[in-house]
Each structure stands twice: as C-alpha cells, then as structure tokens.
Amino acid sequence: MKRIAGFRWDGSGKTISYMVIDEHYQIRCVPVIKKLDTENQKKFQDEAEKVIQEFFTEIENIHRTNSDAIKIEYRIVAHGSPAALFQTKMHKPSKQTEYVKEKFFEQHERVNQKNGNGSLQLAKSQWRAKLKKPALTEFNDGLYRLHVVKKKKNNAYQCHLWALTLHATKSNYKKLLKKLTKALLPAQDSQKAKKKRRAA
C-alpha cells in the first residue's frame, strides 16, 4: 500500500482531523483539524458533512495522479474509552458520533462507486489501541526528533494522526519509529550536507 490516509473524530474535543502520507512517509495532504459547533445540531451536521466531503475530495485528487489504492485508517468513537466502540446501553455512541460515522461510510461508498470498487480500502478494523503514556510520549518525541511534527502547542493532534495513520500500538510503536528513522534520516542528512556545501 503506497498511500495511507488517517481520519479521526475526537468525541471529547468535538473535532475531525485527517491527513494522507505516501510510501516515503511524506505528507500528501496537509494535516487538517476542524472543531465543530455542537450547540446547534443542524450546524454541526452541516459542518461535519462538509469536512468529511473535503477529506474524500483530497483523496480523490491524490488518486487521480496515481491509480493505486489508498488505505484509510480511521477512528470514530464517542470518547477515548475503547468501550465506546460497542453498541451497549452504557456506552452507546452519541448522535454526533453516529452522524460522523454515517457520513464517513456514505462518502467512502460514493467515492468507491465513482472511481471503481477498491480504489479506497478501509482498514480491516477501526483503530482501537490508542497510544497512552508513556508509549505516546516516546512516540511523540520520536516524531519531533525526526521533524515530522513541529513541537508546538497546537500540533498535538498531528501526533495522534500519525499514530492513527501508521496504526501504532503499544507493541509496535518502537518498530514504526525505527522504520521512520531509517526512511527519513538519510534524506535529512543529505539536505544538511548540501546546505553546508553551499555555505562553504
């Protein structure tokens, strides 16, 4: 799979965020985060549908330049607890979460029908193993060190997106960081060397 998209609904922060990377771990779609209006249900639905459409439009645009399938990793839950994934009376998702989920799958089906089934491949299962401290801290530090994410106050969501897009778990995040390092450091070292030669 050459390109992977990450789509995340944060039920606690009431935000939708997404991005797309390629096989070289380069960002193909600038990370986006959109906080939705939750005071007015109609406005929430309009905003949510618009952001979801924009996400799939970005993917369609990328797909036009390369016919290879794009894999989508996703997380659409009411809050941070894995229990929210299950349809039980105690942990039934909110209407807002259900709406985001409905529109997400609706748009996925629309794009696949338009571009041929299989052009967009959903991950086999929704990303459940959300990284927690201390694994999350170590993973984030690795992203900062590799300059994949700039360490700024409002960029924390990007770390969550990278974890989602790479399907990072407690058992594999260290291996993923090694792969990232191997793929990105040679290119970064080469750029630094070029700058030094120019300065000389």
142 and 62 in one domain?
no
Mean local confidence (pLDDT), 178-192: 73
Single residue among 128, 159, 174 that ends a domain in this structure: 128
Predicted local confidence at residue 82, as pLDDT: 47
Question: If phi over 0 gives left and psi between -120 and 50 gives alpha, with beta otherwise, what is residue 25?
Answer: left
Does residue 199 register a pLDDT over 80?
no
118 and 45 in one domain?
yes
Taking the alpha carbons of 111, 117, 119, 125 in that order, is the dihedral positive or negative? positive
136 and 124 in one domain?
no
Give per-residue pLDDT as tens, 115-171: 776 778 999 889 987 889 999 999 999 999 999 999 998 999 999 999 999 999 999
93: domain CATH number is: 3.30.420
Give me the helices (H) in the chain, please. Answer: 41-65, 95-115, 135-145, 156-165, 173-199
Predicted local confidence at residue 58, as pLDDT: 93
Q: Characterize the bridge pairing of strands 15-21 and 27-35.
A: antiparallel
Single residue among 128, 149, 170 that ends a domain in this structure: 128
Predicted local confidence at residue 69, as pLDDT: 81
Measured distance CA(58)–CA(64) in Å, rounded: 10
23 and 110 in one domain?
yes
Per the structure, how many domains does the chain have? 2
184 residue type, one letter: L
25 and 111 in one domain?
yes
CB distance 49 to 100 below 8 Å: no
Do the domain assignments include residue 200?
no
122 and 50 in one domain?
yes
CB distance 16 to 100 below 8 Å: yes
Do the domain assignments include residue 81?
yes
Residue with tokens 């259900």: 98
Measured distance CA(93)–CA(124) in Å, rounded: 21
Give per-residue pLDDT as tens, 159-168: 999 999 999 9
29 and 80 in one domain?
yes
Q: Is the peptide bond prior to 134 cis by the omega test (within 30 degrees of 0)? A: yes
Do the domain assignments include residue 199?
no
104 and 21 in one domain?
yes
87 and 37 in one domain?
yes
Do the domain assignments include residue 36?
yes
Taking the alpha carbons of 185, 183, 167, 120 in that order, is the dihedral positive or negative? positive
- CA separation, residue 94 to residues 6, 45, 162 (Å): 22, 13, 25
165 and 87 in one domain?
no
Return the HEC string of 40-87: CHHHHHHHHHHHHHHHHHHHHHHHHHCCCCEEEEEEEECCCCHHHHCC
172 and 139 in one domain?
yes
76 and 65 in one domain?
yes
The whole domain housing 10 covers 1-128
